[in-house]
Structure 1
Amino acid sequence: MKKLIIFCFAITLFSCNSSAQKTEQKTFEVSKTDAEWKAQLSEMAYYVLREAGTERPFTSPLNKNYKKGVYVCEACDTPLFKSEHKFDSGSGWPSFDREIKGNVAFGSDNKLGYSRDEEHCATCGGHLGHVFNDGPRDTTGKRHCINGVALKFIPKE
């Protein structure tokens, strides 16, 4: 019986050290310290982009922006979304049916107890929002639900 207990303890000890529990730290082309990000970004932009927070719905002036142009990352100016792919989802956040390929990266977010597809800037790693499968069926069927504070709008000349 003593050997069985020792064996079970050893198995438990080694299984707790699996590689599945280790998080890989990804490096990005634009990388700064927390102090540098805090100096560059507003308090709300820092909260959203660097701490994966969410702004309140219907608070971003970009939600109802229908001008022609491009939406870039507030932190690093990487072009993320085009105005022609923006639509009014009624969610309270700027929504797009597609991203600029290669400039937006995806991951999983399980903070609410279920898995959501998270989006972040592929250049600086800033959290942008989430993508859902309830977008316009006549285009991609995707709804990229993006925090407006994570974006900067550059109007078309």
Structure 2
Amino acid sequence: MANMQKQRRNGARTGGFREKPEFEQKVIDIRRVARVVAGGRRFRFRVSLVIGDQKGRVGFGLGKAGDTALAIEKAYHQAKKNLIKIHLNKNASISSPVSVKKGSVKILIKPAPSGHGLVAGGAARYVFSLAGVKNVTAKIVSRSKNKINQAQAAIEALKKLSAQNADS
């Protein structure tokens, strides 16, 4: 008995060094969705998440699976495929104001001075914080509460900004 406890203690985790993951992730939405078949309903989980390294890279992904953990993993891999790189100015803000419409969601983003902070609501807040944008004001100008479209609109706005920066 004492020998088993000793083995267990030696085999247990000792709190060793653990690598920090490449990207931080934030789950925006988890939904249970169903399709109707002859025998009844078949349920799956749909997960939407945002990943970012807080250094200018951010991505959005959707994943569906029979289990939430698998759906999160699928969404993470899709988000890695959809990564975009944005340019931040010296005070961790964007370069110019931009407006984007995605579905029924319209988002207005304006740069802010250093020390202002991240003023954004909904899923756009997660997108900007994981992208590393520290000083920005964003307003979602719609009555829609669709978090997926909010996140995609925020990412489209950042894409539009990076395209503007590439042109100039």
TM-score for the superposition, normalised by structure 1: 0.29
Higher helix share: 2
Higher strand share: 2
TM-score for the superposition, normalised by structure 2: 0.28
Larger RCO: 1 or 2 (CA < 8 Å, sep 6+): 1
